[in-house]
Structure formats: structure tokens, C-alpha cells
């Protein structure tokens, strides 16, 4: 397995594993299948695993902790805080807003440690920037957890360049996690340049466009009724039909190169910089193994340029989030 650095603190596999879908958002979860996939990931060299308290909520951390307990000394586990969860809204709870108050940071960290069954959180992200709390106060509370040995490294998610700089001035930020793929390139320019300048790793989530860039998803009916993609503008029937021709271009290039469509999309992300570590989700072992194999694909400068131009984000139809979730993104 090829390895990459996140900041100065963490050495991780070039491709990590996003675990959200094992418990949250996409429906059709199978805990035993997920555990087998997590174990297989360790076997083939993946050592970077991503979860969050809000995935489930709560149960994804428990699943990841249980599955990875036998391999604790081999793995880097990242989790996140930052949402206000109303446990009275459903059986498991529901996101109802943001909360990055210092006391909440500590509260979530202590709970996450217990759910994961670990003594230290390797990478602790603020899940979304909370405009009601100065980032200096939030990162200050996170830094206290580092001093106490409860957290190894700090991260942000969906933060803009100015916030990143203010946070980094309080305590070194090891990684920024934001959505990034061929069809979502918002971080390009100022945000990625800031990460390069400050030595911050960049962790793209949804590097396969929430599955759309695999070419396997054609229409909303391909999702279960409890799949949250049904609520996303890009996954409306109209927008999926409009975007299908762009994915066909990706499929054609993949066929010419002798790789899968997903592998080509992931290889493009990997080629954008050696400080970039994507975390595609995978619940099944074959998908996991295909994603990891993308680390062996080499793309020429011409191929990268062609891909980038053919699938330029402005050619895709539909916003990535609805109005409420959009309010929780880049600040």
C-alpha cells in the first residue's frame, strides 16, 4: 500500500475508507458485511478510517470501534463533532443544527472515546464551522484535548481559507476534509493552496460523487426509499438524466485505459497532490478492493487535463445540497 502524510502527525494509506454508509444515509446496512469489509481493508493495507458521532447518529463509531479493536495498533481512526443532535426526534436522533461550543467539543470527545473503545482519537475534526462560536474558541478546546492525550491531531471540515488560517494559528491543523471529485471542485484554488502552504493534508469525501461517477447509478429509483441522495438536487431524475452523458465520457476513457469508471475518477483525485487522501465509502469487499487498486493507476498530464475538461463541474446539473445542508458548508 502506498502511504501519504497528513500534516506532520499522521502517515496513512493513500486511500482511506469512509465508513458513514455502513450505518447512515444510504440505507440497506448490513453490520456483518461491514465488519468483514473493515477487516479486509486492514488486510490489504488500508489504515485510515473515517467516522463521526452523527453517522447513525452514534452507532457508526460503535461499529468501527468494534471491528477495528483487534487492529488498534495498525490503524488511524478519525471522527468528528460539531452537530447538535436531538435524540427525541427519532429512535436514534436527528441533526438539528451546529454546536462547536468548547464544552460541547469536550462532551463529544469523551463520548466518542467510549463508543470507539479507544484511549485516544487519532484525528478529531470539527464537522462543520459554527458561525456562532469563534473558531479560536473551538480549536482552543480541541487543543486542550491534545494536551491531555485524548486526541492526537486536529482537523476541520468544509472550512474556507480564512477559517483554516485562524484555526492553524491556534494549533496546527493536520487535515481538512471537504467534498472533492471531478464534479465537485470547490476547494480548488484558495483552499487547496492554503493547505499546501501550511502543510495541511486534504481528505476528499465523496470522491466518486456519492456513487454517481461509478456509472452504476442511472435514476432515483436505483436508491432505496431511505437513501438520503433522494433529497439532493443533483440526484433528481431530471439532473441525473442531464448528467448521464458526462459520466458516459468517463466510462469511455476508463474502458480505453482498461480500468473501471470508479477507478479512473479516483485516480484523478489522487493525482491532484500527494497531500490528498480520499476516503471513498465501500460497504462491500469488491468495491473496497477496486478503490484501493486505483492507487496503482498512473495518469499522464494529457489524460488529467482531458478528464478535467470533459467533466468540468460547470457542465453538471444540480446543486450538491439542498438549502438547509448548504447552510452548513464552506465558511
Q: What would the pLDDT profile of 14-31 be if each residue is shown by its tens digit?
A: 999 999 999 988 888 899
The dihedrals phi and psi of 235, each to the nearest 5 degrees, come to -105, 20
Catalytic residue among 26, 55, 125, 180: 55
- What does the alpha-carbon distance between residue 323 and residue 165 come to, in Å, rounded to a whole number? 27
- The answer, yes or no, to whether residue 89 has pLDDT greater than 70, is no
The neighbouring-strand residues paired with 84 are 97
The neighbouring-strand residues paired with 179 are 205
Q: What is the mean pLDDT of the chain?
A: 95
Report the pLDDT value the prediction gives residue 51, as an integer from 0 to 100: 98
Report the pLDDT value the prediction gives residue 172, as an integer from 0 to 100: 98
Cell 463533532 locates to: 81
C-alpha cell of residue 319: 446543486
- The answer, yes or no, to whether residue 80 has pLDDT greater than 90, is yes
Report the pLDDT value the prediction gives residue 263, as an integer from 0 to 100: 98
- The answer, yes or no, to whether residue 240 has pLDDT greater than 70, is yes
Report the pLDDT value the prediction gives residue 222, as an integer from 0 to 100: 87
pTM above 0.85, yes or no: yes
What percentage of the chain carries pLDDT values higher than 90? 87
Q: Is 200 exposed, middle or buried (0-12, 13-18, 19+ CB in 10 A)?
A: buried
With H, G, I as helix, E, B as strand and everything else as coil, classify residue 288: helix
C-alpha cell of residue 37: 469489509
What percentage of the chain carries pLDDT values higher than 70? 97
C-alpha cell of residue 113: 472515546
Using only C-alpha atoms, the chain has a radius of gyration, in whole angstroms, of: 19
Choose the weakest-confidence range: 83-92, 120-129, 220-229.
83-92
Q: What is the pLDDT of residues 248-280, one digit of tens each?
A: 999 999 999 999 999 999 999 999 999 999 999
Report the pLDDT value the prediction gives residue 88, as an integer from 0 to 100: 63
Give the CA diameter of the chain.
54
Q: What is the pLDDT of residues 141-185, one digit of tens each?
A: 999 999 999 999 999 999 999 999 999 999 999 999 999 999 999
- What does the alpha-carbon distance between residue 31 and residue 233 come to, in Å, rounded to a whole number? 29
- What does the alpha-carbon distance between residue 195 and residue 163 come to, in Å, rounded to a whole number? 12
Residue 190 has a CB neighbour count (10 Å cut-off) of 12
- What does the alpha-carbon distance between residue 6 and residue 275 come to, in Å, rounded to a whole number? 6
C-alpha cell of residue 209: 460523487
Evaluate whether 261 touches 250 at the Cβ level (below 8 Å).
yes
Give the domains, in start order, of the chain with CATH numbers. 3-326 (3.20.20.100)
Q: Cis before residue 38, ω within 30 degrees of 0?
A: no
Evaluate whether 161 touches 194 at the Cβ level (below 8 Å).
yes
Strand segments, DSSP code E, in the chain are: 3-6, 10-13, 17-18, 48-50, 76-81, 83-86, 94-98, 121-126, 151-157, 173-179, 201-205
C-alpha cell of residue 7: 500534516
Catalytic annotation present for 55: yes
- The answer, yes or no, to whether residue 91 has pLDDT greater than 50, is no
Amino acid at each position: 500500500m502506498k502511504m501519504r502524510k497528513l500534516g506532520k502527525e499522521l502517515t496513512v494509506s493513500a486511500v482511506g475508507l469512509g465508513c458513514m454508509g455502513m450505518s447512515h444515509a444510504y440505507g440497506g446496512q448490513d453490520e456483518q458485511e461491514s465488519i468483514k469489509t473493515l477487516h479486509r481493508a486492514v488486510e490489504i493495507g488500508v489504515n485510515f478510517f473515517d467516522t463521526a458521532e452523527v453517522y447513525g447518529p452514534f452507532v457508526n463509531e460503535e461499529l468501527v470501534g468494534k471491528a477495528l479493536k483487534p487492529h488498534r495498533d495498525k490503524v488511524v481512526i478519525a471522527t468528528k463533532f460539531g452537530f447538535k443532535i436531538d435524540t427525541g426526534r427519532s429512535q436514534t436522533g436527528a441533526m438539528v443544527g451546529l454546536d462547536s461550543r468548547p464544552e460541547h467539543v469536550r462532551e463529544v470527545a469523551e463520548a466518542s472515546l467510549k463508543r470507539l473503545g479507544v484511549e485516544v482519537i487519532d484525528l478529531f475534526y470539527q464537522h462543520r464551522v459554527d458561525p456562532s462560536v469563534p473558531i479560536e474558541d473551538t480549536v482552543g478546546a480541541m487543543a486542550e484535548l491534545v494536551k491531555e492525550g485524548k486526541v492526537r491531531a486536529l482537523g476541520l471540515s468544509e472550512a474556507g481559507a480564512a477559517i483554516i488560517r485562524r484555526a492553524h494559528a491556534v494549533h496546527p491543523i493536520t487535515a481538512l476534509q471537504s467534498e472533492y471529485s471531478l464534479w465537485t471542485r470547490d476547494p480548488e484554488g484558495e483552499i487547496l493552496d492554503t493547505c499546501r502552504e501550511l502543510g495541511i493534508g486534504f481528505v476528499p469525501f465523496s470522491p466518486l460523487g456519492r456513487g454517481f461517477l461509478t456509472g452504476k447509478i442511472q435514476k432515483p429509483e436505483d436508491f432505496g426509499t431511505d437513501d438520503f441522495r433522494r433529497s439532493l438536487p443533483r440526484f433528481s431524475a431530471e439532473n441525473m438524466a442531464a448528467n448521464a452523458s458526462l459520466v458516459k465520457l468517463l466510462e469511455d476513457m476508463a474502458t480505453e485505459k482498461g480500468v473501471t469508471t470508479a477507478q479512473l475518477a479516483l485516480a484523478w483525485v489522487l493525482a491532484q497532490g500527494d497531500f490528498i487522501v480520499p476516503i471513498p465509502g465501500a460497504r462491500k469487499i469488491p468495491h473496497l478492493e477496486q478503490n484501493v487498486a486505483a492507487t496503482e493507476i498512473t495518469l499522464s498530464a494529457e489524460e488529467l487535463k482531458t478528464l478535467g475538461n470533459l467533466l468540468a463541474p460547470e457542465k453538471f446539473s444540480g446543486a450538491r445540497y439542498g438549502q438547509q445542508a448548504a447552510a452548513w458548508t464552506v465558511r
